[in-house]
Amino acid sequence: MGNCIICGTDTQGHICQSHEEDVVFEFRGDSADQLVENRFYRGVVDGYADFGVFIDLSPSVTGLLHRSELDGRLESLDWEAGDSVFVQVKNVRDNGNIDLTSSIRQADREFRGTLIQDGTDEKLPEEDEEGNASEEADAGNGRERNGGSVTEASTSDETPETEEKTEAEPAEANPVETETVETTEDDESTGQTPTDARKAAVEEITGTDAETIGETTAEDTDGTAAEEIEETAGDDAEETAAEDVDETPEGDAGRVTRRNISELSDRVGEEIRIEGEVVGARPTGGPTVFELRDETGVVDCAAFVEAGVRAYPEIEVGDIVRLDGEVEIRRDELQVETEALVELEGDDAETVQRRLAEAMTERARPDEATLVAADDAVEAASEQLLDAAEAIRRAVLESRPVVVRHAATADGYVAGVALERAVLPMVREEHAESDAEYHYVTRRPLEESVYGMNDATNDVTRMLQDRERHDEKLPLVVLAGTASTVESEDGLEMLGIYGADRVVVDAAPADSEIADDAEVLVNPTGDGLSTGALASSLASTITPGVREEIVHLPAVSYWENTPESYREAASEAGFDTEDVTELREAIALEAFYQSYDEKRELVGDLLFGESVEAIAAGAPDDAAESETLAGHIATQFREKMDTEVETAEANIENSETAGVDVAVLDTESYTHKYDFPPSSLLLSELHRRGDAGVTIGVAMDELWVRADADLDLREVAREAASITPGAGITAAGLREGRIEFLSGAREDVENAVVAAVVEQFD
């Protein structure tokens, strides 16, 4: 029998079953079947594979951490071969293969203790070093069990050096700097955290209970934790303002100074104070991680009570707080180890809130709109661009996720990608964690140009789950090239019911009702503008430095009649007409496949990666065609489109109605319904290549209309419905020219729509 090193209860060995996951084991066995499932082990990175990471648990035992067990992408891991990591054994298979899962805890201090597993035997680290039994090691080293953690206890009759100093020279004692407590191997094995060690040091020096000191700090928010300790020790040094001091003077070595988050990278190892708003709180298997935002940025702050226990449960997202702690680098990311955290109230809270609000307004609203290229319509909407840019920038600064919704078309992808590229630099600047750009920026393509209840339900479900599971703020939803007509009103209203802000960006005319359902509507007046071009100017207004990167995108968004200013902008960036066409066709093809997926990396390679660089560098035409990603995919686009157009043209029925040439294709019978190109894109291509004034594609219960005249599709639907009552005719998608109807009235609907379209030619 033995005693659990965590709770002290009688158990077989050194750890009871209920606390087995609170310690980390160093494995020294030679067989996989000696491992214990669900235990945490220290391992060494052996190498990477496409499907995960191999981790050596001992020189002769290796497990696999599959990519599906990672919180982020495999490519985002910064582990290198030989790095020490912490993993949990998920399963040991009959064939000896070991399935591992990731551990949020990646430091000894985040576990409550360390044990050695030698084969199937378990022992304390000191037993291994000294070869003695647990009781002998405890007695010989003067160790005692105290409240579930193992702490040093003096066995000598002599007064410790720190006690002598406290009694002889109380005025010179400084509890923050006089005694520096670091996590040693013994601390790791006992489970004592750095915070516990510091508290013990403070109590030993001052003779005052550390919790009492913390309570005093929470009550007197005008003082600092360090000042209260100094007062107890008899030190009356004057306070030095954070704004006026870059380094702590020699005489004030123990004083905690307020620092801006933006300067913490230069303060690693220092005790600092932060005042700001809690924008996130994530309980983990180890510490609780608070995301704290001040007027200059956001940083993760780890607070540890015990494994899996929520630290500071009274602190919630949105609280204005004061935090004292030590700046650290954890897994190559900046983090503050929390020593004291209190909620501010009254004048103190108002001072911080005012400071945050002033900085937010100053940082969020750009000074002026930055256009990608000269465009009178876009310039006339400069105030709308500034309002939208401020809303998006404010969301990033407030640590709210930004969700970009756009149609799964070439124009829609250009618009969404331009906005994404503008927001990403801000996210990287504001958030230290490596996967922040995947957490705070999401682009979700829409299969149709209407933001309906299905899409809104999807978004609301996700944001509510993220709020409940991760304490995440509600997102800002940016809708590009969609949601500007009344057909999207229900979806927008559903987002509003839950408090999600909405920004609508559309170059096509918007319905007046949408202005009431969106916080910001960017909708310039005028013809011939693409949503991709409009969103690109919004992107360069959000982050002016991104303009050079996206200057060619507006030209990519036009299938025909590209404005001269955008052609010239692309040309100056190194993209001629053929280059732009190639990119457009490649994006259109990839937009069709996995249409619901953002494909961030693939689309980035197409528009900004090696393929673009090769074109811009003036690569030979044959090299660009055969070796670049865009060239390869554009070739597939042309082959697939040409094949489908050839088949369609052979089956088009041409007629004349009221002097207008009309071409009608039965898409249900003469197209491959689920293959590329989709009916909407095919009809557009047929109309561009053909001579008819009207081109119509008719499926089982929907049809698409393309015409040389400027059509009012709603009026077409109303007129056709009056001709064919009871056919259920509705204008389902204004942006894609789509009308829905009941399949039983298909032939009558076709004739009625043709008559209604031709009527608008007069």
| Mean pLDDT, range 25-41, rounded to an integer | 91
CB within 8 A of 593, min separation 6: which ones? Answer: 676
How high is the pLDDT of residue 251? Answer: 38
List the domain range (segments joined by +) for residue 306: 256-350
Give Cα separations from 183 to 104, 148, 194, 327 (angstroms): 19, 17, 6, 15
597: in domain? no
What number is the average pLDDT over the span 139-146?
Answer: 36
pLDDT at position 245: 37
Note the pLDDT of residue 73.
Answer: 73
Query: Please, what is the average pLDDT of the chain?
Result: 81
Tell whether 426 and 340 lie within a shared domain: no
Look up the CATH number of the domain holding residue 297.
2.40.50.140
What was the pLDDT predicted at 130? 53
Strands 660-666 and 694-698: parallel
CA distance 192 to 675: 62
383 shares a domain with 343: no
Q: Is residue 675 part of a domain?
A: yes
- What is the reported pLDDT for 242? 38
Q: What percent of the chain has pLDDT over 90?
A: 53
Domain-terminating residue out of 532, 547, 575: 575
Top mean pLDDT of 180-189, 259-268, 477-486 is at 477-486
| 9 against 396, higher pLDDT | 396
Report the Cα 323 to chain-centroid distance in Å.
25
Residues 537 and 405 grouped into a single domain? yes
How far apart, in whole angstroms, are the C-alpha atoms of residue 553 and residue 530? 11
Give residue 158's pLDDT band: very low, low, confident or very high (50, 70, 90).
very low
| Closest-CA residue to 519 (of 569, 475, 582, 560) | 475
Are 396 and 458 found together in one domain? yes
Omega before residue 249 within 30° of 0, cis = no
In a domain, 642, yes or no: no
Alpha helix (H) residue ranges in 174-234: 185-190, 194-206, 210-219, 225-233
- How sure is the predictor about 671, in pLDDT bands with cuts at 50, 70 and 90? very high
pTM above 0.85, yes or no: no
In a domain, 640, yes or no: no
Per-residue pLDDT at 240 exceeds 80: no
Task: Give the end of a domain, one of 527, 546, 575.
Answer: 575
The neighbouring-strand residues paired with 278 are 292
Among 200-204, 363-367, 625-629, 669-673, the minimum mean pLDDT is found in 200-204
Domain ends where: 152, 176, 210? 152
29, 95: one domain: yes
> In percent, how much of the chain has pLDDT > 70?
80
Please compute the mean of the pLDDT values over residues 374-388 and round it to a whole number. 95
The total of other beta-carbon atoms located within 10 Å of residue 698's CB is: 22
CA proximity to 294, closest of 221, 358, 239:
358
Asked if residue 426 and residue 571 are part of one domain, the reply reads: yes
DSSP annotation of 344: -
pLDDT tier, 618 (very low <50, low <70, confident <90, very high otherwise): low
The arithmetic mean of pLDDT across residues 500-525, rounded, is 94
**231 found inside a domain:** no
Q: Do residues 148 and 13 share a domain?
A: yes
Judgement on whether residues 322 and 463 belong to the same structural domain of the protein? no
At 261-300, the pLDDT tens digits run: 989 989 999 999 999 999 888 887 678 889 999 988 889 9
Q: What is the pLDDT of residue 193?
A: 43
Structural domain includes residue 88: yes
Answer yes or no: is pLDDT of 646 > 70: yes
Q: Residue 202 domain-assigned?
A: no
Which whole number is the average pLDDT over 342-354? 93
Encode pLDDT of 393-433 as tens digits. Answer: 999 988 899 999 999 999 999 999 999 999 999 998 887 66
Strand partners, 446: 407
pLDDT at 1: 62
3-state SS record for 103-144: CCCCCHHHCCCEEEEECCEEECHHHHHHCCCHHHHHHHCCEE
CA distance 560 to 538: 22
Q: Is 586 domain-assigned?
A: no
Instruction: Answer yes or no: do 388 and 318 share one domain.
Output: no
Look up residue 255 and give its two tokens.
């004083």
Same structural domain for residues 294 and 332? yes
Instruction: Look up the CATH number of the domain holding residue 737.
Output: 3.10.310
Q: Please tell me the total count of domains within the chain.
A: 4
- Report the pLDDT value the prediction gives residue 199, as an integer from 0 to 100: 44
Using the predicted structure, report yes or no on whether residue 479 has a pLDDT greater than 60: yes
Does 382 share its domain with 344?
A: no
The set of residues, in sequence order, having a beta carbon less than 8 Å from that of 592 and lying 6+ positions away, is: 408, 676, 677, 678, 681
**From CA 328, how far away is CA 106, in angstroms rounded?**
14
**Looking at residue 537, which CATH number applies to its domain?**
3.90.1640.30
> 3-class secondary structure for 457-497?
HHHHHHHHHHHHHHCCCCCEEEEECCCCCHHHHHHHHHHHH
- Selection from 649, 690, 698 nearest residue 673 by Cα: 698
Given a cut of 70, whether residue 223 has pLDDT beyond it is: no
Based on the fold, state whether residues 571 and 503 are members of the same structural domain.
yes
pLDDT score of 120: 86
